[in-house]
Amino acid sequence: MSEPVLELRNVTKRFGSVTAADAITLSVNQGEFFALLGPSGSGKTTMLRIIAGLEVPDEGGVFINGQDVTALPPYARGVGMVFQNFLLFPHKRVGENVVFPLRMQGASKAEQDERLKWALDLLRLDGLADRYPHQLSGGQQQRVALARGLISRPALLLLDEPLANLDRELRKEMEVEVRRYQVELDIPFIYVTHNQEEALTMSDRIAVMNHGRFEQVAPKLEVYTHPTSRFVAGFVGHSNVMTGTLAAIEGGCASLDWNGVTVAVRTPPGASVGDRVDCFVKLEKMRVVAPGGAAQGENRVPGTLRDIIFKGSTADYLVTLENGAELMISEGSETMGFQRKDPLEVVWSAEAGACFPAGGA
Amino acid sequence: MAAGSRVAVAAYKGGSGLLLTLLYLFLYAPIVYVIYTSFNKDLIWPFPPDFTLDAYFKLADSSTYHEALWNSVLLGLGSAILCTVVATMGSMSILKYRSRWRGLIAVIYLCPLFVADLLVGISSLLFNRQVLGLPGNMGSAMIANAVHGTSFAFLIMIAQMARYDWRLDDAAMVFGAKPLRCFWEVTLPIIWPAMLGAFIISFILAFNNLEISFYNLGAIPTLPTIAWGSLRFGLGAELFALAALVNGVVLVTFTIMYLLMRYRIVSFGHRD
Amino acid sequence: MARRRLGPEGRFLLMALPGAIFVVVFLLLPILSIIVFSFWRTESYTLIPDWNLDNYATLFGTTTYMTFLLRSFTMAVAVSLASLVYAWPVAYFIAKHGDRYRLLLILALAAPFFTGIILRVTGIQGVMGPVGVINLGLMNYGLQPIEFIMYTQTAVGIGVTYLFIPFMVTAVYLSLLNFDFELLEVAKINGAKPWRAFIEITWPLNWMGTVIGLVLVFIPSMAESITPRFLGGPNAASFGQVLGLQFGETGTWALGSAMGVLLFAVSSLVILLMWRTVNLQRSGFTGGGS
């Protein structure tokens, strides 16, 4: 396999008593769309700034195409970056903003013109080259920022929540666009976001960050379906959480006493009988059925339909169980003809649950 | 990293810090000299030191200097109040509203910056005397000083308030605050450091202005005009003593401000 | 009951006009009046409306007046440039590293104005005059005194810089206060070395503030009348000094008015030339407001 484009080795960064990056090791390959996902304050922007050279790590090294760039200032690293609030130069026209990186590299005028045309075409900015940034709409400013990030064919492009300031419609549109550019250029994008939908839509691989550490680094599908930590299970996707005590363990299968309801779960690694456990099941992994069917190796819990939240192609069913707990189930909106207060049963497979030792609260 | 680049950053920071320190030294050395001299017998040739408090006793006895000090303070306060009010209204209107007159109004407010003190002084003297038929008095001196100070105050306020988010005012109005109430409850608490800065600067400018005041005060003495008048007989010892005392007050004020900032009691508009 | 509400235009004028009228009446009308008086003549301390060009003929026809004007102009240019070079790093330091003490650091530059100009210039004389602290100190150690700071144009230049450099620092500082330092990071990521980023980003975006600073130093330096009298040699008289004389000893107000008009014209021309280098679009000035 070819050499990774970006490698972080044991990168650590502290701000006073806060550890923003805790011995982070990572490699990103050619053509990969890599998302850094985490809540605000998790250290993901610090990660990006370390890669860009805007912060110097306290320990560890940053390698781009095998070269140690830890000691290099940002302007010698040859990376592109797109910022959350665009940060276009207000005194330069669109064209001047976009060719800025090329001018800094000392590219010839002819090459600047050619690349500029290419970038404006790619980002559909034709005809705007002579405008000033403040004369553009938010979406256009974002495209200019992207054009500036891409024009010099950087080794990799860093994106710091670039869509956070756009409205929902535009964001949806840009998500597809950004992915398109990445596929077209075949360079790695490192995309920082706190929005899991963005990460899931665009990326190939996701690193979920929390308190300066990677909780899980894996292809997005795996992060979604097989979270490896309690934090990831809670942060990615929408899940029902069942907290209870392990009543029995039989090999890979265990039974969980969840406030009087017994449910079958996968045995969390290293757990023993009597442990407090959180079990996460994604909303769409559960189904609602009419009561009375036979259990077929699945969990089957009776309850009462409290409400249906219509969402278009899907609907969320709120079900109150006999133990007083409430579950939310995501189903196709046209399923069945349940009414409020109907008795029904919630069904899910033991395999669908991800269990971890219970969190503090 | 970039050990080299870190060294460069440190060198730049240290270097410019040193320049700042040297500037303060340059600015305050003559003032230290004045204060030092105020404690000396010989004002013209205060070396080697021959300490005495004579200047201060003379000052305590001199009603002329008391009057001059009082007039200076009065002139400073009156002018600073005028400046601050006018500049607050002007800067707020320019930053808040998108009028087609904005450019013109801004230029008018900035005009006085481009006219030297001396010109303001002689032109208002001639205008008052010839056109309005007014003799020199405190009022016209106050106004002439205020005209000049207004653009400084305006500039300071514009620069400090440029980032104020006027949507806050909209929010206050939506929640039922009338314009004045809105100013009092929302705008003022945010812009007061800018107003204070404008007030202090315009006070300083008027308090010690010579060239505007000299031509517009008539026979009313202030500290700078009295200094100017006493030049041909040699500066009075009282002047040195007064300057030393004024600087003492400034020093105390600054120390208090420093302590307030140091212990974060008042931030004076600084956002961490 | 429904009182018609003022539109934004109306509210703008309501707030902005009083101050504008104040400036027009008390600054522009007086200036206008000296322009008029400059075409009159004075007889025994009275202005006589007898329209003529004699005052200007005298001004332009007398070599000494032109020498004074040129001397003041050169002085003002030199002082402005010196202030510019010195003030930039200082203002940058305060804006970048002043932290929460920034306001205090700036006020400390303004505080010397509390001591009147005459005492301050006396103080400068005491520090660097022929028998001032510096030269006495040097001679005390058997060294040569520094001659170029004794009653020379250089001495006047240092004195005038001393008086007005705080304006320059403050103007650049206020400009930097509204400068988005993050833009420098963007420039660096895009390959600009620090000095290149300064030239491409910091300098043009703060050029308007710099121009204001230059003007703030140039205008009073050009009109300065006190400093040359104390620190200059016998041939150091400035235009402002001579202008002041017309309103004091000689009482030739019409000629004084003409000198005032000339001073105003030269200053305005310089401001105009400076202002033409400011491109509002290129200054990053987006208008603000709502």
Instruction: Provide the CATH number for the domain formed by B39-262 in this structure.
Output: 1.10.3720.10
pLDDT band at B19 (very low <50, low <70, confident <90, very high): very high
Give me the residue from C15, C37, C116 closest to B126, CB to CB: C37
Q: Tell me: the pLDDT tens digits for B117-172?
A: 999 999 999 999 888 888 888 999 999 999 999 999 999 899 888 877 787 777 77
Examine residue C134 and state whether it is found in any structural domain, yes or no: no
Examine residue C21 and state whether it is found in any structural domain, yes or no: no
Give me the residue from A75, A87, A132 closest to C192, CB to CB: A75
Examine residue C96 and state whether it is found in any structural domain, yes or no: yes
Q: Is the pLDDT of residue B32 over 90?
A: yes
Q: Is the pLDDT of residue B10 over 80?
A: yes
Q: Which residue is listed with tokens 């500037």?
A: B23
Q: Enumerate residue ranges in chain A where pLDDT < 70.
A: 1, 294-295, 335-336, 360-361
Q: Per-residue pLDDT averaged across B86-107, rounded?
A: 90
Domain count, chain C: 1
pLDDT computed for residue A13 by the predictor: 93
Q: Per-residue pLDDT averaged across B208-220, rounded?
A: 89
Q: Is B4 helix (H, G, I), strand (E, B) or coil?
A: helix
C122 close contact with B: CB closer than 8 A: yes
CA dist list (Å): B235 to B30, B44, B80, B246, C245: 15, 9, 28, 17, 21
pLDDT computed for residue A295 by the predictor: 66
The encoded tokens of residue A152 equal 């010099």
Domain with residue C199: its CATH number is 1.10.3720.10
Partners of C131 in beta bridges: none
Partners of A278 in beta bridges: A243, A356
Mean pLDDT of chain B: 86
C218 close contact with B: CB closer than 8 A: no
pLDDT computed for residue C288 by the predictor: 40
Q: Is the pLDDT of residue B3 over 60?
A: no
How do the domains of chain B map onto residue ranges?
Answer: 39-262
Q: Is the pLDDT of residue C289 over 50?
A: no
pLDDT computed for residue A271 by the predictor: 82
Examine residue C140 and state whether it is found in any structural domain, yes or no: no
Examine residue C58 and state whether it is found in any structural domain, yes or no: no
Q: Tell me: the pLDDT tens digits for C56-86?
A: 999 999 999 999 999 999 999 999 999 999 9
Q: Which structural domain, as residue segments, surrounds residue C183?
A: 63-115+160-276
pLDDT band at B271 (very low <50, low <70, confident <90, very high): low
Q: Tell me: the pLDDT tens digits for A289-316?
A: 888 776 677 888 999 999 988 888 888 9
A54 chain-C contacts, CB cut-off 8 A: 185, 188-189
Give me the residue from C180, C193, C286 closest to A134, CB to CB: C286
Parallel/antiparallel/unpaired status of strands A261-266 and A276-282: unpaired
Percentage of chain B with pLDDT > 90?
Answer: 41
Q: Tell me: the pLDDT tens digits for C217-265?
A: 999 999 998 899 888 877 788 999 999 888 877 788 899 999 999 999 9
DSSP string, C75-117: HHHHHHHHHHHHHHHHHHHHHHH-GGGHHHHHHHHHGGGGS-H
pLDDT computed for residue C2 by the predictor: 45
> Shortest CA distance to B65 belongs to which of B195, B208, B242, B187?
B242
A70 close contact with B: CB closer than 8 A: yes
B164 close contact with C: CB closer than 8 A: no
Examine residue C236 and state whether it is found in any structural domain, yes or no: yes
pLDDT band at C9 (very low <50, low <70, confident <90, very high): confident
Percentage of chain B with pLDDT > 70?
Answer: 95
Q: Per-residue pLDDT averaged across C180-205, rounded?
A: 92
When computed from its CA atoms, the radius of gyration of chain C, rounded to whole angstroms, is 23
Give me the residue from C190, C197, C287 closest to A101, CB to CB: C190
Q: Is A228 helix (H, G, I), strand (E, B) or coil?
A: coil
Those chains having 3 or more beta-carbon pairs within 8 angstroms of chain C are A, B
> Shortest CA distance to A68 belongs to which of A154, A7, A156?
A7
Cβ atoms C184, C202 nearer than 8 A: yes
Closest-CA distance, A237 to chain C, in angstroms, reads: 34
pLDDT band at B266 (very low <50, low <70, confident <90, very high): confident
Closest-CA distance, A21 to chain C, in angstroms, reads: 21
Q: Is the pLDDT of residue C181 over 50?
A: yes
Examine residue C139 and state whether it is found in any structural domain, yes or no: no
Q: Tell me: the pLDDT tens digits for B37-75?
A: 899 887 777 777 778 888 898 888 888 889 999 999 999
Cβ atoms A333, A311 nearer than 8 A: yes
Examine residue C16 and state whether it is found in any structural domain, yes or no: no
Residue C22 backbone zone (phi > 0: left; psi -120 to 50: alpha; other: beta): alpha
Q: Quick one: which H or E segment has residue A313?
A: none
Q: What are phi and psi of C10, to 5 degrees?
A: -65, -45
Q: Per-residue pLDDT averaged across B245-265, rounded?
A: 89
Q: Is the pLDDT of residue C108 over 80?
A: yes
Residues near A279 by Cβ (< 8 Å), separated by ≥ 6? A241, A242, A243, A244, A256, A258, A263, A265, A353, A354, A355
pLDDT band at C287 (very low <50, low <70, confident <90, very high): very low
Query: Which residue has better confidence, C285 or A137?
Result: A137
pLDDT computed for residue A217 by the predictor: 95
Q: Give the separation between CA C208 and CA B159, rounded to whole angstroms.
A: 12
Query: Which residue has better confidence, B236 or A88?
Result: A88
Q: Per-residue pLDDT averaged across C25-44, rounded?
A: 91
Parallel/antiparallel/unpaired status of strands A299-310 and A343-348: antiparallel
pLDDT band at B4 (very low <50, low <70, confident <90, very high): low
CB atoms within 10 A of CB B86: 27
The encoded tokens of residue A347 equal 């069904």
Which ipTM value was assigned to this complex? 0.88
Interface A-B, measured as beta-carbon pairs within 8 A, has a size of 11
Q: Is A317 helix (H, G, I), strand (E, B) or coil?
A: strand
- As to burial, measured by CB atoms within 10 angstroms (0-12 exposed, 13-18 middle, 19+ buried), residue A301 is buried
Partners of A327 in beta bridges: A319
pLDDT computed for residue C41 by the predictor: 87
Q: Per-residue pLDDT averaged across C274-287, rounded?
A: 73
